[in-house]
Amino acid sequence: MRRRRTAWTAAVLVLAVALTGCVSLFVPAPARTTSTPTGEEVSAELRPFYAQVLEWAPCGQGFQCSTAEAPLDWADPARESIELALTRSAAPGEPLGSLLVNPGGPGGSGYDFVRDSLDYAVSADLRERYDIVGFDPRGVGRSSAVDCHDDPGELDDYLFGIPEGEPGTDAYLAELEDSASRFAAECARISGELLGHVDTASAARDLDLLRSVLGDERLNYLGYSYGTLLGAVYAELHPDRTGRLVLDGAVDPSVTEAEASAVQAKGFESALRAYLADCLTGSDCPFDGTVDEAVDDIVALLDRLEESPLRAPDGRSLGRSTMFYAIVLPLYTAENWPYLDELFTTVRDGDAEYAFVLADSYFSRDESGAYTDNSTEALIAVNCLDYGATTDADALRAQEAELERTAPVFGPSVADGATQCAGWPYPPRLERGPIAATGSAPILVVGTTGDPATPYEWAQSLAGQLENGHLVTYDGEGHTAYNKSNDCVNDAVDGFLLEGVVPEADPRC
């Protein structure tokens, strides 16, 4: 059945999944103190940060806002500090504690997510019992933020520019790497030392600081997409301080950049095939024949765009890379699949304008050409510190060939992304490997079988790595599941966060 169009939802806003069924475990209600700090032992250098008292002020629509200070460099906390922006919706009565929420990215604003989408982020029952806290991680949004351009046109050139060389050649790869190196140099020039300290491990240490200054002895946390990696790293660093953690749309911390690219390319390929199977059942589908034939048509369309980009009314050129983002955005949720109908119809008719509407939405670029946040710059900065760069030309070509074989639509564009961290001025800081979080409280890991961005196998892997991980499967399409899938998922997550109930087996929602 064809789905009607719904209000547009930004792709970085992610959700979580829940469980029902028999239970055999019970997690005690998270302890809460009335003072800050909460009494844990910290070094003399860290004491000023953990002893700070947050000053909350009304900031509209019933929310309160505040700013915390954190060390720029956790290895040298006395040297310099950064700011972390917070907003919260206070529980009407005596709360169980604070529930910190991260929407994903990396680069997504938890501040904006909670302020603008509170009902979407958490259920009414959670809002009743928890202080719901949104925060911008280091490098993001209203916190001390990375910045990589003086003029929006510079970011336009980096994101939408088309190399002159033939794809796959040394000249083509050199152009991509040169562009990435120039972008990295501008990031370093404008952002300064902050650029080297926006890695996930540092952000996880910030999370513990926020837990303490909010007055909680244990962290209660809801993380979506990239937010699952942040939560898992926190649990590895501070297993004894985990309260109730829900990780929805899990990222596998053990995979390399190349492995992650391969799995994600196949995930989006699978989601595209699901869209096509649905589309071909309707009378207004822009494709005919079988799913395989429709995939061949899309590959041919992308090849034409690579050879002869389409000019948009604003002068930008639509090539394969920008079309990739235009296709990807509606695939995050099945409710937005109908946007793909118009995308493919207009581009095949030689009109690039609608494709740029979708691509601009992906990159938070408004109609005036301004970027409304720094999510793209923050995403690149965090990923370059978490994954590092692949610059060997032979390895890049081999990776592209394999991706093109397993994911013919998305593989070539994903492979080009491997050059994004070329010339990055700081080395990777996050060690890739399995996370066990030995000694932690139970952790719920939610996975959606048809998730294109964080494929289901990652949720299975993370739940298996965690010593006390518990998998909740949502059998459906879309990126994440809590508060947008079904009662089985929602009841399970709420039951865990509110009552500490853990399923003895995956309920397969």
Count, residues in the chain: 509
State the Cα angle at 176 between 175 and 182, rounded to 5°.
90
Let me know: does 497 contact 246? Beta carbons within 8 Å: yes
DSSP H helices in 285-386: 291-307, 320-331, 338-348, 353-362, 375-386
> 469 - beta bridge partners?
443
Which DSSP string corresponds to 431-494? PPS----TTPPPEEEEEEEE-SSS-HHHHHHHHHHSTTEEEEEEEEESS--TTTS-HHHHHHHH
Rg (CA), the chain: 22
DSSP H helices in 130-169: 152-160
Phi-psi region of 338 (alpha: psi -120 to 50; beta: other; left: phi over 0): alpha
From the CB of residue 403, how many other CB atoms can be counted at a distance below 10 Å? 25
Rounded to whole angstroms, the Cα distance separating 62 from 68 reads: 20
* Tokens representing residue 451 in the block: 């998730």
Rounded to whole angstroms, the Cα distance separating 324 from 343 reads: 11
What is the distance between the terminal CA atoms of the chain, rounded to a whole angstrom? 21
- For residue 15, which of 125, 120, 110 has the smallest C-alpha distance? 120
Which residues are identified as catalytic?
225, 451, 479
C-alpha distances (whole Å) from 429 to each of 108, 348, 386, 392 are 20, 44, 6, 21
Rounded to whole angstroms, the Cα distance separating 42 from 85 reads: 23
